């Protein structure tokens, strides 16, 4: 459809340049949402977009929209995007590739002189990771109507800081109401965060949807006691009970293998003293499955198992679901656009379901949506050693460019 191509060297330079904002000694990034490091990379992103002639809009939750005008300003924009925040031990590419790959698309369009029918917009979503404020993808969720602005602004991190206060502290609360923004279609470039593409020797994944996910917070309450004088039979040891509960999470996921997944990623033990029997233990649970009915069965089995552990351990369990994201199918037209774009670029794409959640999952509720995956070494992500090649980054961005140009004709 076009001989326009991404400048792969410039894209790679952007990836390495932005990695210095929150860069770690091990070569990764710690850039939690709404921190000083997040402000720094946002400022860099805004400057890079405006240098290309884009206008920048920021909504009330800090979502950033860089707009390159098209021939017809009355048409809703074709959009692309991802996120710039990371996990506490994050890599250089998770989310970041989607934003900077989108920046490379804008650069290619600008430098070629090609003007699309639709405006083209690149979005940096706030708080995709959910590592500081839970749940993840709150701000794309609010854009799609899953949460209200007030709900998001009132969320607090583990230290008690309010989302709205942190947003104000980095001066990225805009004036536009979240979601009051037309969209014709949405495409997101991302690393796979899994091993399939690399293992099967594919460069491009054409993503058909996102599996279902449920998150929980569990608090086990017992009784603090002296470790040297309290008989084992008279203890209400919450850490011991939590250990059995965590094993149950893994067992339930294994019972639903190979597609069922269960993870405990955060544990807090109190009073956390060497010679005190723990009296309170907090932990999180992440359940996933591409089939919603199977995910519901996993939840039912897990809750039964946790109640049994609590009863036998003489502790009480309080558990609440903090996030329920049903499985999401992507738009077939957009999937085909990605597939055709990949083939035109010389790649044989593999259709694949996303295991992790993405902002695209919420966008799919309100607009035609699809994703593009590129492989990451050993399937490793949410890790400072996360790695892709310059060629893979360029390939993904070229497929994104082709998808944007095709969507400009289709929608």
pLDDT > 70? residue 212: yes
Q: Which residue has the higher pLDDT, 148 or 2?
A: 148
pLDDT > 80? residue 2: no
**Residue range(s) in the chain whose domain bears CATH number 3.40.630.10:** 8-211+327-410
pLDDT > 80? residue 228: yes
Percentage of residues of the chain with pLDDT beyond 90: 97
- Which helix (H) or strand (E) is 124 found in, with range? strand 120-125
Residues 372-390 have pLDDT tens digits of: 999 999 999 999 999 999 9
State the Cα–Cα distance between residues 363 and 397, nearest whole angstrom.
Answer: 20
Topology of the domain covering 212-325: Alpha-Beta Plaits (3.30.70)
Residues 231-269 have pLDDT tens digits of: 999 999 999 999 999 999 999 999 999 999 999 999 999
pLDDT class of 3 with cuts at 50, 70, 90: confident
pLDDT class of 37 with cuts at 50, 70, 90: very high
Handedness of CA 185, 188, 192, 196 (dihedral sign): positive
Report the residue count for the chain.
411
Q: What's the whole-number mean pLDDT along residues 210-220?
A: 96
pLDDT > 90? residue 320: yes
Residues 42-56 have pLDDT tens digits of: 999 999 999 999 999
> Taking the model in full, what pTM does it have?
0.86
Q: What's the whole-number mean pLDDT along residues 58-64?
A: 98
Instruction: Please confirm whether the linkage preceding 258 is cis (ω < 30° from 0).
Output: yes
pLDDT > 60? residue 180: yes
Residue 156 burial (C-beta neighbours within 10 Å; 0-12, 13-18, 19+): middle
pLDDT > 60? residue 323: yes
Backbone angles phi, psi at 135, to 5 degrees: -85, 175
* Average pLDDT over all residues of the chain: 97
State the Cα–Cα distance between residues 1 and 280, nearest whole angstrom.
Answer: 61
Using only C-alpha atoms, what is the Rg of the chain? 22
Topology of the domain covering 8-211+327-410: Aminopeptidase (3.40.630)
Q: Within 10 Å of residue 262's Cβ, how many Cβ atoms? A: 21
pLDDT class of 355 with cuts at 50, 70, 90: confident
**Residue range(s) in the chain whose domain bears CATH number 3.30.70.360:** 212-325
> Lowest-confidence range among 115-124, 145-154, 166-175, 353-362?
353-362
State the Cα–Cα distance between residues 399 and 13, nearest whole angstrom.
Answer: 19
């Amino acid at each position: 459809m076009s001989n326009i191509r991404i400048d792969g060297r410039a894209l790679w330079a952007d990836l390495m340049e932005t990695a210095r904002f929150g860069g770690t000694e091990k070569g990764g990034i710690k850039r939690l949402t709404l921190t000083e490091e997040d402000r720094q990379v946002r400022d860099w992103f805004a400057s890079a977009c405006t240098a290309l002639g884009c206008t920048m809009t920021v909504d009330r939750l800090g979502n950033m929209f860089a707009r390159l005008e098209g021939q017809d300003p009355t048409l809703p924009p074709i959009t692309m995007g991802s996120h710039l925040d990371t996990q506490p031990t994050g890599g250089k590419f998770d989310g970041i590739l989607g934003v900077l790959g989108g920046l490379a698309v804008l650069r290619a369009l600008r430098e070629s002189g090609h003007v699309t029918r639709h405006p083209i917009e690149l979005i940096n979503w706030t708080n995709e990771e959910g590592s500081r404020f839970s749940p993840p993808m709150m701000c794309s969720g609010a854009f799609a109507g899953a949460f209200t602005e007030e709900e998001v602004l009132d969320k607090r991190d583990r230290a008690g800081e309010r989302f709205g206060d942190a947003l104000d502290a980095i001066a990225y609360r805009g004036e536009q109401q979240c979601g009051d923004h037309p969209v014709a279609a949405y495409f997101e470039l991302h690393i796979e965060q899994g091993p399939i593409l690399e293992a099967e020797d594919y460069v491009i994944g054409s993503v058909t949807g996102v599996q279902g996910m449920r998150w929980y917070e569990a608090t086990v309450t017992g009784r603090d006691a002296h470790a040297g004088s309290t008989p084992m039979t008279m203890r209400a040891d919450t850490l011991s009970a939590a250990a059995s509960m965590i094993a149950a999470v893994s067992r339930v996921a294994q019972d639903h293998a190979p597609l069922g997944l269960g993870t405990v990623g955060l544990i807090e033990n109190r009073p956390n003293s060497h010679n005190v029997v723990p009296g309170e233990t907090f932990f999180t649970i992440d359940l996933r499955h591409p089939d919603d009915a199977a995910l519901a069965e996993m939840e039912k089995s897990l809750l039964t198992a946790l109640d049994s552990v609590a009863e036998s351990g003489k502790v009480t369990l309080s558990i609440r679901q903090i996030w329920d994201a049903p499985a999401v199918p992507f738009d077939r037209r957009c999937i085909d656009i990605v597939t055709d774009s990949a083939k035109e670029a010389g790649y044989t794409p593999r259709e694949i379901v996303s295991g992790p959640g993405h902002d695209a999952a919420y966008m799919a509720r309100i607009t035609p949506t699809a994703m593009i995956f590129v492989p990451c070494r050993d399937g490793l992500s949410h890790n400072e050693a996360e790695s892709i090649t310059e060629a893979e980054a360029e390939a993904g961005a070229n497929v994104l460019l082709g998808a944007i140009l095709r969507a400009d004709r289709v929608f």
